[in-house]
Structure 1
Amino acid sequence: MGLAYLGALFGLTSFYLVAPLGATAVLLFCVPNSPLAQPWSAVVGNISAALVALIAVWYIPGPWSVGIAVGSAITAMMFLRALHPPGGAAALLTALNPELAFEAGPWFTVVPLGAATVVLVLCATVYNRLTGRNYPFRLPKEKPEHAPRLGLSTDQLSGLLERYNQTTNLGVADMGRLLAAAEAEAAQHRFNGTTCADIMTSDLITVNPMTSLKEAARLLRKHRIKSLPVVDAGDTLQGVILQADLLGMIAAQGRPLARKQQARQTAGDFMHSANQAVPHDLPVGVLLNRLAEQGSDVIPVVKGTQLVGILTRTDIMRLLLQGSKERVAA
């Protein structure tokens, strides 16, 4: 009704306004993540398409004017990176019956057509935010927490979309989310739902942040292990001490100053950050990619913030080798 009122106010019938804008509304409200539905595409696409069509029929009268008007409008939208399918409808309607547009002048592309599109974009923004959808859709400046684990950059994902001519159908962020979800699903099926908790080592030797480095080295040597998780009194993971990190300390034992410094150092001073810890219910297949990318030898497993186990490359290799004889025989 609002669009019809605008049409009557500026001397255009509601038919010529509602037809293309109805298609705009479908995109804005139903597929808000589509590149075709973004504010720039909607507003600039509708305005530029109608304006180019008006210029085309003004200077090219005759039977070819309609085709040239629509083709020129599509070209203009693509050049402006504002491809919007309803813009083609706006161009077609303008070319088929340009008299009313000529009477209103070039401003009809801005008011009411452009103004009505802006109103639709604003309404769609409110509606999509209230329903939990992200509109307008923008790529985050920082790397998202749940980024795709395929090792592909934004430019590489964009290149794939361009290679298969899908840039107008799917956004880079949407493609990344789909690929990440497919990867996680494939990993889940590959290992029959095996999680980190299923294969982790749960019988752990741990130290607290105040444990001396000498005691930490003694525990590593005694139990023939390569890492020592550092936890507080409530078993909350604080960090990890690796056997390799103590080699430098041992090499420096001949220097008196180094011996004095080492005598004062504790596990809390020497430990690595616990930011590589993984949740206990993480599928193992997903963890394989993390091991490959980060080159980690030891990964703490937590439930909430509490340490519940440790995963090593040996644990992963043991899982990979399960059933290997049956697969070779098959």
Structure 2
Amino acid sequence: MRMRVNARERWRVVVGAGIGLFLTALASMALSHGSPTIPWLIAPLGASAVLVFGLPASPLAQPWPVVGGNSVSALIGIACTLAWGPTPMTAAVAVALAIAAMFALRCLHPPGGASALLVVLLGTTDPRFALVPVFTHSFALALAGIVYNNATGKRYPHRQGVAAPVPSASHQPVFTEADLDTVLKRYNQVLDVSPDDLQALLAQTELESYRRRLGELRCRDVMSTDLVTVEFGDSLQDAWKLLRERRIKALPVVDKVRRVVGVVTLADFMRHADLDFHHGWVERLRSFITPSPTPYSTKPETVGQIMVRQVRVASADRRLSELVPLFADTGHHHIPIIDDDKRLVGIITQSDVVAALCRSH
């Protein structure tokens, strides 16, 4: 399958791998003081560099798998060589045991198998080889990966226990985390992507599917034009009556030329009437919306005093697909639609979007 990676990301990986290996080699030469018995780079680090810089989100490329996987595997290879000598059987057993150890220690790292194989092929029996150069090289490469990846916008180490960002807190995918865990257990294979990232990718794919299926629909094609509005000076009692009679949750507030100046919702009434407590809420609401009999009042009397002034609006010519993130990411339930003169001509609710999506499907 063709890789979906642009040229910029490819160059980021290429340059990062080159810089990482170069710095690792310099650090190794400095620590070994030019000793000819200590290699300034070991071959498995080439594969480790591909993972660290090319797949920084992979569970196989995190610092502990890089350092622990290579070092533990080298120790196992040395132990096998000490026991049976450098034979083909020793190489096979060393790699197999290295994989088992990496599974047990939660540091599975593909180049670790190469580290175990390397020491057998070299006939290495000195346990210090696992420390210098294997551990020191792996540690230096992981450190270079931390600095370079974060400097180029890639989070590394990539924390696997923290949920990756999804399109929104309010938009929930059609599957749950438990569903994904069940499928992964049934799949029963090592994935080169964390479950958190996989869940985020699936949720974003679902959202992209919504956008595609909504196609070229414009706001004017699905908006409700049977509008119920109020003005700044209308009484709270009249506004509440409209909300109840029309069974709607929001009323656009317009001026004399029908330009939107705010919106008043059921939540605004509840907040200002202090209806957080259930006891006596009917009396509090009735007292709140009833006009004061005196010229002076200590409570709001008109819609303009409780409305929300910052209102997200959309043009009638705007693609409906562009409103999906507004409903999903910001928690909007209704968006007023305006014409070229910024006058209110309709309103779109979450229900309108769902209905359009069903029709397009």
Question: CA 1:66–1:268 in 2, change beyond 3 Å: closer, same or farther?
Answer: farther
Question: CA 1:126–1:192 in 2, change beyond 3 Å: closer, same or farther?
Answer: same
Shift of 1:59: 2.3
Question: CA 1:185–1:262 in 2, change beyond 3 Å: closer, same or farther?
Answer: closer
User: Does 2:122 correspond to 1:88?
Assistant: no
In the alignment, what sits opposite 1:328?
A: none
Shift of 1:89: 0.7
Match of 1:122 among 137, 143, 156: 143
Which consecutive unaligned segments of at least 5 residues does structure 1 have? 291-295, 325-330
Q: Give the secondary-structure state (helix, strand or coil) at the position aligned to 1:133.
A: coil
In the alignment, what sits opposite 1:194?
A: 217
Shift of 1:44: 0.7
In the alignment, what sits opposite 2:60?
A: 36
Answer yes or no: is the 8 Å Cα contact 1:300–1:311 preserved in 2. Answer: yes
In the alignment, what sits opposite 2:152?
A: 131
In the alignment, what sits opposite 2:356?
A: 319
Q: How does 1:240-251 map to 2 (within 5 A)?
A: 240-241=265-266
Shift of 1:313: 6.5
Match of 2:205 among 182, 186, 197: 182
Q: Which whole-Å deviations, capped at 9, do the CAs of 1:104-149 have from their partners, x for residues lacking one?
A: x323212321121111111112211222212111147477362573
Answer yes or no: is the 8 Å Cα contact 1:3–1:18 preserved in 2. Answer: no
CA distance in 2, matches of 1:313, 1:285: 10
Shift of 1:61: 3.6
Shift of 1:173: 2.8
Shift of 1:319: 3.0
In the alignment, what sits opposite 2:251?
A: 229
Q: How does 1:274-285 map to 2 (within 5 A)?
A: 283=321
CA distance in 2, matches of 1:156, 1:10: 55
CA distance in 1, matches of 2:215, 2:180: 29
CA distance in 2, matches of 1:62, 1:183: 53
TM-score (norm: length of structure 2):
0.65
Match of 1:59 among 71, 76, 83: 83
Question: CA 1:116–1:196 in 2, change beyond 3 Å: closer, same or farther?
Answer: farther
CA distance in 2, matches of 1:62, 1:188: 60
Question: CA 1:51–1:199 in 2, change beyond 3 Å: closer, same or farther?
Answer: same
User: Does 2:93 correspond to 1:68?
Assistant: yes
Q: How does 1:283-322 map to 2 (within 5 A)?
A: 283=321, 299-301=333-335, 310-312=347-349, 315-316=352-353, 319=356, 322=359
Q: Work out the percentage of aligned pairs sharing the same amino acid.
A: 32
CA distance in 1, matches of 2:313, 2:132: 56
Match of 1:21 among 45, 63, 69: 45
Q: Which whole-Å deviations, capped at 9, do the CAs of 1:241-267 have from their partners, x for residues lacking one?
A: 28x98xxx9xx99x8777444425666
Shift of 1:174: 2.5
In the alignment, what sits opposite 1:293?
A: none
TM-score (norm: length of structure 1):
0.70
Question: CA 1:141–1:3 in 2, change beyond 3 Å: closer, same or farther?
Answer: closer
Q: Give the secondary-structure state (helix, strand or coil) at the position aligned to 1:311.
A: strand
Answer yes or no: is the 8 Å Cα contact 2:230–2:251 preserved in 1. Answer: yes
Question: CA 1:232–1:22 in 2, change beyond 3 Å: closer, same or farther?
Answer: farther
Cα RMSD (Å)? 4.5
Q: Give the secondary-structure state (helix, strand or coil) at the position aligned to 1:149.
A: coil
Which consecutive unaligned segments of at least 5 residues does structure 2 have? 1-24, 291-298
Answer yes or no: is the 8 Å Cα contact 2:64–2:107 preserved in 1. Answer: yes
Answer yes or no: is the 8 Å Cα contact 1:187–1:285 preserved in 2. Answer: no
Answer yes or no: is the 8 Å Cα contact 1:184–1:285 preserved in 2. Answer: no
